[in-house]
Amino acid sequence: MPNRKSTIKSLKQNKKRHDRNKAVLSELKTRDKKYLALVTDNKLDEAKTYLKKYMVKLDEAASKKIIHKNKASRKASRLTKKLNSTISARTA
């Protein structure tokens, strides 16, 4: 256990931030699984609307520096690419 008051406070803040960040990461993983399930089940209209909401959450996490902005961008790109390839495969 630390001796200084500032270090004690810092530990409390770190724990609070860790818990908050963990919750956001967990939510992103859940959204990812749900989105991929929608795409694989060919519920493409639902997947499109869900993707927009998911991308907003990714951008929020990136702006709060929970995940890196490049990771958010890469993930959004890959998810969009997956949806577009599924749509083109379905129409072809």
* Chain segment 35-83, per-residue pLDDT in tens: 999 999 999 999 999 999 999 999 999 999 999 999 999 999 999 999 9
Q: 24 near 66, Cβ under 8 Å?
A: yes
Residues 87, 43: contact at Cβ < 8 Å?
A: no
CA distance 18 to 48: 31
Q: What is the pLDDT of residue 9?
A: 95
User: What is the structure's pLDDT at 90?
Assistant: 80
Both tokens of 1, joined, read 């256990």
The reported pLDDT for the residue numbered 2 is 85
The continuous run of DSSP H or E covering 42 comes out as none
Amino acid 7: pLDDT: 95
The structural domains of the chain, ordered by start, are 5-91 (1.20.58.110)
Name every residue whose Cβ is closer than 8 Å to that of residue 79 and which is 6 or more positions away in sequence. Answer: 32, 35, 51, 54, 55
pLDDT at 6: 95
